[in-house]
Amino acid sequence: MKINPMDMLKNAKKLQEQMGDFQKKMEGVVVTGSSGGGMAEVDMNGRMDVVAIRITPEIVNPQEIDMLQDLILFAFSDALEKVRGAVSAQMGQLVSGIGGDVAGQWAGGGAP
């Protein structure tokens, strides 16, 4: 299979534009991770920035700081897992939009 360098440049430019669009789109994605049945919640955007933390006032007890810390940690982990899933799903759409020929060439799909 022959690889046309001009086609590769066009595809690279298209991929660069799609990646820019992807990054902008992911900035708008916000997921909420929670723990303790919603007693602690963490909002995270598609860039994996924590944008908000909410804690139910009833769980704030100075003698149970360890439990509160655990709840926040688990809520953060839950949000991180969700945002990774969202990024992965969006990346899958981006890759499928590139086209089989280019993807196959980059994955070792044949020599010229």
Residue range 2-23: mean pLDDT, rounded: 80
CATH code of 48's domain: 3.30.1310.10
| Global confidence as pTM | 0.60
What integer pLDDT is reported at residue 78 of this predicted model?
93
Residue 94 one-letter amino acid: L
Could you report the per-residue pLDDT of 62-90, keeping only the tens digit for each? 898 888 889 999 999 999 999 989 888 88
Please check whether residue 38 is in contact with residue 56, taking contact to mean a CB–CB distance below 8 angstroms: yes
> Which of the four pLDDT bands, split at 50, 70 and 90, describes residue 3?
confident
Sign of CA dihedral 71, 74, 80, 85: negative
> Which of the four pLDDT bands, split at 50, 70 and 90, describes residue 52?
very high
Sign of CA dihedral 74, 79, 84, 89: positive
39 occurs within a structural domain: yes
Residue 62 belongs to domain spanning: 30-90
Could you report the per-residue pLDDT of 38-47, keeping only the tens digit for each? 999 999 988 8
When the pLDDT of each residue in the chain is averaged and rounded to a whole number, the result is 80
What integer pLDDT is reported at residue 17 of this predicted model?
85
What integer pLDDT is reported at residue 99 of this predicted model?
55
70 occurs within a structural domain: yes
Overall number of domains in the chain: 1
106 occurs within a structural domain: no
Residue 68 DSSP label: H
Please check whether residue 59 is in contact with residue 70, taking contact to mean a CB–CB distance below 8 angstroms: no
4 occurs within a structural domain: no
> Which of the four pLDDT bands, split at 50, 70 and 90, describes residue 98?
low
